Structure 1
Amino acid sequence: MPHPSPEPPSTSPEWPHCGHGSTRDDPVGCRGIHVPGHTACLAHLADADRAAYLAGLTPGTDIDHRGTTFTQPLLDALLGALRDPATRRPRLGGAQFESATFESDARFELATFESTAQFRSATFEGNALFRSATFESDARFELATFQEQAWFIWATFKGTGRFGAATFHDHAWFDSATFKGTAWFGATTFKSTAWFESATFKSAAQFRLATFESAARFESATVESHAVFGSATFQSDAQFESAVFKADVQFESAVFERSVSVGPLVCAGEVKLSGAVFSGPATLSFAARRLGCRRTRWLSTAALRLRYATVDFAHAVFEYPLTIAAEAHPFALPDGRPVTEQALAGTPDATVRMASLRGVDAAHLVLADVDLSRCLFAGTVHLDQLRLEGICSFDEVPPGTHWRRWRLTRFTQRRTLAEEHHWRASQPTAVRGWNVAVFGAGHVGPAQLAPVYRALRKAFEDSKNEPGAADFYYGEMEMRRHDRTSTTRAERGLLHGYWMLSGYGLRASRALGWLAAAMLVTIVLLMGFGLPEDSPRQEATGTVPPGGGRVSFVIDKEEPRNPTGNRFTGKRFEKAVNVTLNSVVFRSSGQDLTTTGTYIEMTSRVTEPVLLGLAVLSIRSRVKR
């Protein structure tokens, strides 16, 4: 469909111009630059003078036809004069076509531009045909208007390819093109499909502020330096299947107005989506070392399928279900072929790691098979509604036994948060093994971490994972015990005792150890002071009347006597064990005891069942589902 030509500017150009056809409405007239030695442009030059000028051209000659209007025959005649007889291809030196107008097809196919090719503000009213053209130096198409299709298939840009603020009304074909210098498409408008399939960018690819009103197709494209799509607008599909970015690719503040499926693509650096807006459903498939999504807005459902990436999701905004899932195997293309990940060679594994969820409302967030060992959680909203699927790993406490000042310390293995590592490593009495190098952890202490642990505990409980919830309960209690701002001194004392006796009801071995110690002390005390020296004997006394009358008996027991001599015998040990074991389960042993022994048994019947209960509670918390 034809597009109206832009209105001619009202000001005179900076070069000496032809002025042909000037009127009251257009006093400037033709803007074409003078042909050397004449006062008219090539289009309005007399036929004989034009023929003489063209005959004087040789392949590789510099030409300057700024502002000139070219018909099809005129352009063919110009390129014919510059055609190399050996290759039959046009060969131009410096080519100045700034503000030129091509009224029909501009056929520069197979042409070679040996110096700067200047097409700034040019208008192509027909097809712009640069198929297999070679630009030995800079190619400048800034502000150019392509009203029909632009063909740059297999073109080679050895210098900078500048298309900034250009407008492509029809298809823009850059398939298999090679940009050895920077490719500038900043603020370019693609009103129809932009084809960059299998294109190679040896340097940076700049598409900042570009507008893609139709599909943007970068399948199998390769960018060996930075790719920038910052603040670009994608009004239709953004297709990057099998694209390879050997450095960072930026989509910061980009807008995706429709549902999109970006990737699978491979990025050896960072995929930057911070500040981007996804208005429709989105499926993103990235194999990248890092993924930045700070303050990214998701206005519909989204699924992020990732490999290798360390993800910064801080302050991202979404109100619909969003899933971040790790892919165990390389992505597959629609035809079944796996995506090549050669750009990520040397990366230890394909594990997906979360770096931060701070400032996120996690009510609709699902994490599947991701590593959370370095994730920052403080400041996350509705963390108790976070869903964890598959194997989501957390950090652990330092393994082994450590000396803390003068006493030996051993940490029981449990899931911990990166922020607890950072806080503990910063303490004066910290042992080796706590990770102080947690990027962005800031000044987060027990008061901030206790509610984080509490929320994660509830998330695990809601998913019926009681053993997993136990670790976060332990972490919550630890933070409360160390919190000197929100926890009173008396409460900290109770928590300290609870921790020592049973690890907050979660360490069965600790409770059983104290129980065994308490029972041993009870046994020793009973053997030493609680069991009488002899078993009490029964004595009968009565009065026998003369003549064999009625006999009455009075049964009495001697008071138990404290033992003397050797108190630690096998028989006394057996009795002490019997008394102790019966006292644990709130049963009376029925054994006669000394007064001291009675108090020992009473104490044992209070303390030892409590320790037994804590041990049972600890075991239950680890096996409950």
Structure 2
Amino acid sequence: MTSTPPDANPDAPPWPYCRYGGTANDVGCRGLVVEPHAACLAHLGDAERSAYLAGLRPGADVDHRGTPLSEELLRELLDAVTDPRTARAHLGHARFGLAKFTGNADFGGAEIGGDADFAQAEINGDADFTRAVIAGNATFAGAQMRGDAQFSRVEIRGNAQFDGAKVDGHVQFARATIGGYAWFVRVEIGRDAQFPRARIGSDTWFASASIGGNVQFGGAVLGGDTAFRGAAIGGDAQFVGAAFAGDVTFRRATIGGDAGFGEVAFGGDARFGGVTIAGDATFGRVLFTHVATVGPLVCGGSLDLTEAVFGTAVTIEAAAATVGCRRTGWASTAVLRLRHATVDLSDAVLEYPVSITAQAKPFTQDGQEVPETGLTDPRVRAASLRGVDAAHLVLTDVDLTECLFAGTVHLDQLRLDGLYAFATTPTGLRRRGWVPVRWTPRRALAEEHHWRAGRPTCAGGWVPAPDGDVPLQPAALAPVYRQLRKAFEDGKHEPGAADFYYGEMEMRRHAHDIPRSERALLTTYWALSGYGLRASRALGWLLGGMATTVLLMMLWGLPKDDPKPQSTGTLTGRRLTLTTTGAEPVNPDGPYRERLSTKRFEKSLRVVINSVAFRSSGQNLTTAGNYTEMASRLVEPALLGLAVLAVRGRVKR
């Protein structure tokens, strides 16, 4: 091994350079061989290569930096250091920096007692370290792999460094163990990066990484901080069941598919500022113990916080199509600033005040506006408050058109601020079967829409219940309207409270558990004045009653002629006693047309107007007229009072 081969370059520099003085331009050799006995295997003769390999023993250090290696040559090298007792290749330090592997680099099952250095190596096939054991550090910084990087069940007792590496295929670290940090800063991975059930003792960094496929860390245990700051992930990012001992940072990361963090344990802060997720983001059953701010993040699909628990005060800023907070627990105050979202708070546990606010402007991160691709409607809508203790809930600028309220606890203490909207009744003339029905606008519950739409005599315009949902009956909806009415009354919003009073009375009128007599009374109340809330209806009945009374007076109530008083006298001695009596009114006779005169109309109108004000007109009336006047004094003032009450209900503050 010490003699110079015939084709050696006599002008070649001394060791540690390639003894043949080859360069990348002439013999395809990187030219870096550190130790004299580790000659460039690609340029040794058969006899010298055989002698070199024969001199290797298990556990020997191997240094072939810059050496071109074929699959066959690598296999011969590893065979030379294979321990016959374990049938595994056993190396000391393995230095292959700048090496060029023309095929696969198969180190599967190898034991490397020192460091494994593959910095800036080129591997034209797969890099296979499945079940390998590396006692020191594994360095692949700047390496280029045309195939997959297989590190399943690898054990790296030091650090794993892949800074700036480029892998055209998959990166697989399933059940891998890394004692130190795992550094993948600015790495480029063409397909998936798989780390299921991996264990990493220190930090895991994918900052500014580019991953064309999915990222999988399901069940992984990450001992230090984890950073995907500025990373671009083309597919899904799944961390279901992972445990993060330190802080987790996804600031300005982009995820082309779904992001799954279900049942993740965050030991430190979780920062998602400026994250853009094209699909769904799931945080189901996650325990947040140190998080102060989540977001701003953008989800093209849903943000699912089902059964998540926030142990400290938190601010959540998100733009998403839906935000699911079913059975979510807030053990401290929370602020949710949302855009585009439909929020479902079913059975959420609120121990402290929680506010949900519609964010008017797009979110910004680091002075830049976070893009909201695929989201167009900036409104925030509430889907359900069922099971929520509304005493701790504040909704600002939230659309409640489709919100389900039945089952909400302390609904009468709900606080609504800003511009909010409820569902409204269909307005105008509509047909109920063959009968035309006119609806006046009022606030209504989505549950009332569902119930009315399911009735056979539905007048149309009502929104049916979603498939699979059973509409609630009026007896269950009346208490909901009653509590909302009280909430509006406590908030000094009397006109709004009037709508919910109307809805409450409507549900009572249709409830089957109400006695028939009471329902008949409610029906009369509804027909005459809309439960004292429809002034136009009461005035219409009043005008109709007055017109009827005027007509009755003209036809039968006024006498034929005004009776003249008659006086009679008695002379007793020098004393004269006079007695004046009124003549009995004479019922009118003759054709009805003659009774409908202007003079009789004027007299009748005066009688009716006075009867509305409980006054007597002083007009002589027939017996029928007296009874008609008594009836009008009873009915028409009541209708006037209902009209005044309805107007008062709409203008009271």
Same fold (TM over 0.5): yes
- Which residue of the partner structure matches residue 423 of structure 1? 451
Please give the alpha-carbon distance, in whole angstroms, between the structure 2 residues aligned to 1:562 and 1:65.
122
Counterpart of 2:335 (choices 289, 292, 303) is 303
Bigger shift: 294-303 or 263-272? 294-303
Structure 1 pair 614–445 and aligned structure 2 pair: CA distance change class (3 A): same
Cα offset for 1:542? 2.6
Structure 1 pair 295–436 and aligned structure 2 pair: CA distance change class (3 A): same
1:541-620 to structure 2, matched below 5 A, reads 541-543=568-570, 549-565=574-590, 566-620=594-648
- Which residue of the partner structure matches residue 114 of structure 2? 71
Cα offset for 1:213? 2.1
- Which residue of the partner structure matches residue 521 of structure 2? 494
Matched, 1:39 2:82: yes
- Which residue of the partner structure matches residue 564 of structure 2? 537
- 2:372 aligned partner, one-letter code: E
Cα offset for 1:105? 4.0
- 1:295 aligned partner, one-letter code: R
- 1:71 aligned partner, one-letter code: G
For residues 204-245 of structure 1, what are the alpha-carbon distances to aligned partners after superposition, in whole Å with 9 as ceiling and x for unaligned? 111011122222110111111111101001222211111111
For residues 307-352 of structure 1, what are the alpha-carbon distances to aligned partners after superposition, in whole Å with 9 as ceiling and x for unaligned? 111112111112211111111221233x4433221342xx2x2111
- Which residue of the partner structure matches residue 243 of structure 2? 211
Please give the alpha-carbon distance, in whole angstroms, between the structure 2 residues aligned to 1:176 and 1:71.
30
Is contact 2:260–2:281 with CA below 8 Å preserved after alignment?
Answer: yes
For residues 473-522 of structure 1, what are the alpha-carbon distances to aligned partners after superposition, in whole Å with 9 as ceiling and x for unaligned? 111111111111x2111111111111100011110000000000110111
- 1:513 aligned partner, one-letter code: G
Bigger shift: 612-621 or 380-389? 380-389
**What secondary structure, in the 3-state scheme, does the structure 2 residue paired with 1:305 have?**
strand
Please give the alpha-carbon distance, in whole angstroms, between the structure 2 residues aligned to 1:36 and 1:428.
84
- Which residue of the partner structure matches residue 9 of structure 1? none
Structure 1 pair 336–162 and aligned structure 2 pair: CA distance change class (3 A): closer
For residues 65-88 of structure 1, what are the alpha-carbon distances to aligned partners after superposition, in whole Å with 9 as ceiling and x for unaligned? 53412424xx34xx37xx6xxxxx
Is contact 2:109–2:133 with CA below 8 Å preserved after alignment?
Answer: no
RMSD: 2.6
- Which residue of the partner structure matches residue 512 of structure 1? 539
**What secondary structure, in the 3-state scheme, does the structure 2 residue paired with 1:579 have?**
helix
Structure 1 pair 455–323 and aligned structure 2 pair: CA distance change class (3 A): same
1:68-467 to structure 2, matched below 5 A, reads 68-72=111-115, 75-76=116-117, 79=118, 89-91=121-123, 93-333=125-365, 335-344=366-375, 347=376, 349-438=377-466, 441-467=469-495
- Which residue of the partner structure matches residue 9 of structure 2? none
Could you tell me the percent identity over the aligned residues?
47
Structure 1 pair 310–56 and aligned structure 2 pair: CA distance change class (3 A): closer
Is contact 2:300–2:321 with CA below 8 Å preserved after alignment?
Answer: yes
Is contact 1:331–1:339 with CA below 8 Å preserved after alignment?
Answer: yes
Cα offset for 1:278? 1.2
Is contact 1:70–1:100 with CA below 8 Å preserved after alignment?
Answer: no
Please give the alpha-carbon distance, in whole angstroms, between the structure 2 residues aligned to 1:460 and 1:129.
62
Cα offset for 1:54? 11
Please give the alpha-carbon distance, in whole angstroms, between the structure 1 residues aligned to 2:91 and 2:358.
66
Structure 1 pair 440–390 and aligned structure 2 pair: CA distance change class (3 A): farther
Is contact 1:419–1:441 with CA below 8 Å preserved after alignment?
Answer: no
Cα offset for 1:255? 1.3
TM-score, length basis structure 1: 0.87
Is contact 2:270–2:291 with CA below 8 Å preserved after alignment?
Answer: no
Structure 1 pair 129–491 and aligned structure 2 pair: CA distance change class (3 A): same
Is contact 2:59–2:81 with CA below 8 Å preserved after alignment?
Answer: no
Please give the alpha-carbon distance, in whole angstroms, between the structure 2 residues aligned to 1:55 and 1:177.
22
Is contact 1:419–1:438 with CA below 8 Å preserved after alignment?
Answer: no
Cα offset for 1:43? 4.8
For residues 36-66 of structure 1, what are the alpha-carbon distances to aligned partners after superposition, in whole Å with 9 as ceiling and x for unaligned? 2553366558x9xx99x99997444422153
Structure 1 pair 314–194 and aligned structure 2 pair: CA distance change class (3 A): same
Please give the alpha-carbon distance, in whole angstroms, between the structure 1 residues aligned to 2:267 and 2:617.
84
Is contact 1:236–1:260 with CA below 8 Å preserved after alignment?
Answer: no
Please give the alpha-carbon distance, in whole angstroms, between the structure 2 residues aligned to 1:242 and 1:331.
8
Structure 1 pair 38–152 and aligned structure 2 pair: CA distance change class (3 A): closer
Please give the alpha-carbon distance, in whole angstroms, between the structure 2 residues aligned to 1:134 and 1:435.
55
Structure showing greater Rg: 2
Bigger shift: 440-449 or 153-162? 440-449
Cα offset for 1:426? 1.0
Q: Which runs of 5+ in 1 are unaligned?
A: 1-17, 22-32, 84-88
- 1:470 aligned partner, one-letter code: A
Structure 1 pair 336–576 and aligned structure 2 pair: CA distance change class (3 A): farther
**What secondary structure, in the 3-state scheme, does the structure 1 residue paired with 2:368 have?**
coil
Cα offset for 1:602? 0.6
Is contact 1:64–1:97 with CA below 8 Å preserved after alignment?
Answer: yes
Cα offset for 1:545? 6.8
**What secondary structure, in the 3-state scheme, does the structure 2 residue paired with 1:553 have?**
strand
Cα offset for 1:133? 0.6
Structure 1 pair 54–425 and aligned structure 2 pair: CA distance change class (3 A): closer
- 2:637 aligned partner, one-letter code: P
- 2:200 aligned partner, one-letter code: F
Is contact 1:63–1:93 with CA below 8 Å preserved after alignment?
Answer: no
**What secondary structure, in the 3-state scheme, does the structure 2 residue paired with 1:342 have?**
coil
**What secondary structure, in the 3-state scheme, does the structure 2 residue paired with 1:480 have?**
helix
Cα offset for 1:150? 2.4
Please give the alpha-carbon distance, in whole angstroms, between the structure 2 residues aligned to 1:58 and 1:207.
34
- 1:560 aligned partner, one-letter code: P
Structure 1 pair 113–131 and aligned structure 2 pair: CA distance change class (3 A): same
- 1:510 aligned partner, one-letter code: R
Bigger shift: 267-276 or 532-541? 532-541
Is contact 2:498–2:649 with CA below 8 Å preserved after alignment?
Answer: yes
1:50-61 to structure 2, matched below 5 A, reads 58-61=101-104
TM-score, length basis structure 2: 0.83
**What secondary structure, in the 3-state scheme, does the structure 1 residue paired with 2:318 have?**
strand
**What secondary structure, in the 3-state scheme, does the structure 1 residue paired with 2:296 have?**
strand
- Which residue of the partner structure matches residue 522 of structure 1? 549
Bigger shift: 600-609 or 299-308? 299-308
- 2:613 aligned partner, one-letter code: V
- 2:373 aligned partner, one-letter code: Q
Is contact 1:377–1:452 with CA below 8 Å preserved after alignment?
Answer: yes
- 1:332 aligned partner, one-letter code: T
**What secondary structure, in the 3-state scheme, does the structure 1 residue paired with 2:636 have?**
helix
- 1:339 aligned partner, one-letter code: V
**What secondary structure, in the 3-state scheme, does the structure 2 residue paired with 1:371 have?**
strand
Please give the alpha-carbon distance, in whole angstroms, between the structure 2 residues aligned to 1:358 and 1:477.
22
Structure 1 pair 374–110 and aligned structure 2 pair: CA distance change class (3 A): same
**What secondary structure, in the 3-state scheme, does the structure 1 residue paired with 2:82 have?**
coil
Is contact 1:374–1:438 with CA below 8 Å preserved after alignment?
Answer: no
